[in-house]
Chain A
Amino acid sequence: MREKLILTLGSLGTVLMLWVIYRVFLGLPAEILQGDIYRIIFIHVPAAITAYCLYGVAVIASVGFLIKRNFVMDSLAVSCVEVAQVFTLVNLVTGSIWGRIIWGIWWTWDLRLTSQLMCFLLYLGYLLLRPAVSDPTQRGVMSAILAIFAAADIPLVVMAIRLKNVRTQHPQPVLETGGLDPSFVAPFVVSMVALMLIGTALVLIRLQQESTRREIDSLRRELHAV
């Protein structure tokens, strides 16, 4: 039943994404100032939004684990963080490519890109800490605390980057496109839905792996007991 769910979500997401690509490439005209590259916004921003949603779920699951000590919550947290990291990476790479075309440089320390990079680094620490702890309860508690600290840091990161940019007066490349043209809205929303479906499918696969891992742990303990 779960396999079917994963398959449905994944295929639905992929089909929707293909529709988006078709619409984006063929349905929309090239923008005068930016040329073709602006079409990348249809993956760049939805990936970021999906990533933020997943990080949010991970933090809620972490708090839930601290309160209830239910290992399913811990598995949900780590699965969401892993998939969120993938989407953040997509966001960073597409943002960098976009920046290369628009501003001529591979990286600008602007608000959006830098805060996404910080998210990536903070939760990378989360993923690095987990294998270093062998006891499952300890691992769950430590990761949960780390996830909460990381999430609390993000607003401060945004404030700090703003401060830095105000002082050093970097030219602020703005990725905001203002109000979206009506013909843009449909592919944008569909792309967001598609990426969220794909993200959910990936999280479910990862959750399955975590429950298998727990089964392995308990079998190992049983073997040692015997």
Chain B
Amino acid sequence: MSGFSAAIAIASKDLRTELRTKESLNSAASFALVILVLFSFAFDLGRDEFLAISGGLLWLVYAFAGALIVNRSFARELPNDCLDILIASPAPGWAIFLGKAFASFLLLMIVELISLPVFGVFYNVPWVDSFFPLLLIMVLATWGITIAGSAFSAVTVNVRLRELMLPVLLYPLLIPLLTAAMEMTTALMNGESLGGSNSGGLRILTAFDAIFTALAVYLIEYILVL
């Protein structure tokens, strides 16, 4: 079984499981919506002031939802020793990892795309005009969140207090990614384009994705064969 077909098989297994039960999809999406509502109570801002923090708010919500989804990714394999069986299978370690990361990526994208219209409605933000640049940022940043998150999910799967340790470890690492995404989203909401001074953010996102995908794939053998 070649690596890529193994990765696709594992990704589709995870997606199928998740789409049938909709466990983490429901909880992540509900959590995102609740946080959006909570923030609207927390801040009482005029439109201009709000546009200045719109990017920050959106990506905070996405980061919280992402941690939930990514946490489930490897934790799902714990009952019945499924993780050991996966590792013992002929599928290479990097294929298992990329398959799971890709499944989490798609799930998080679904949650994000659901939350976006809600965000637009609650906060009166003009996201439709700049939808495609926004989609680009979402794809790049979400891949970064899921690849780093899946790596930490694998690392913390057998650790005490896993649900607490994963966010504590993941969020500091994600700060550059989230900062870049937040800055660019705020720029888009304010009507600017992604060129010029905002292109630095794209560079950070691609650099983050490239570096951490390479690191995670390279080091995953050490994590899984513990």
Contacts and interface: CB of A to CB of B under 8 A. Distances in A.
Contact flag (A, B; Cβ within 8 A): yes
B159 A133 contact: yes
B183 interface: yes
B113 interface: no
Contact of B183 (A135, A150, A167): A167
A150 to B, nearest CB: 7
A160 B172 contact: no
Interface stretch (B73-81, B87-95, B122-130, B174-182): B174-182
B173 interface: yes
Contacts of B136: none
Contact of A156 (B165, B207, B222, B223): B207
Contacts of A144: 222
Interface string A131-142: 011010110011
B99 interface: no
Contacts of A66: 219, 222
Interface residues of A, number: 32
B176 A149 contact: no
A129 B219 CA distance: 18
Contact of A137 (B155, B159, B207, B226): B226
Interface stretch (A8-16, A120-128, A204-212): A120-128
Nearest to B178: A160
Interface string A75-90: 0000000000000000
B42 interface: no
Given A66-B222, A163-B183, A167-B187, A157 B155 contact: no
Interface stretch (B11-19, B24-32, B103-111, B197-205): B197-205
A118 interface: yes
Nearest to A67: B222
Interface residues of B, number: 35
Contact of A160 (B204, B212, B215, B223): B204
B173 A149 contact: yes
B155 A145 contact: yes
A187 to B, nearest CB: 34
- Interface of B, secondary structure class, is helix
B20 interface: no
Interface string B185-226: 001000000000110110110011001100100010011001
A119 to B, nearest CB: 9
B168 interface: yes
Given A125-B168, A137-B226, A160 B173 contact: no
A4 to B, nearest CB: 38
Contacts of B204: 156, 159-160, 163
Contact of B180 (A122, A129, A142, A160): A160
A164 interface: yes
Nearest to B174: A153
B37 interface: no
16 contacts: A122-B173, A125-B168, A128-B168, A129-B155, A129-B169, A132-B165, A135-B226, A148-B219, A156-B176, A156-B177, A156-B208, A159-B200, A163-B180, A166-B197, A167-B187, A167-B198
Interface of B: 148, 151, 155-156, 158-161, 165, 168-169, 172-173, 175-177, 179-180, 183, 187, 197-198, 200-201, 203-204, 207-208, 211-212, 215, 219, 222-223, 226
Q: Which 5 A-B pairs have the closest CB atoms?
A: A160-B176, A156-B176, A160-B179, A121-B172, A125-B169
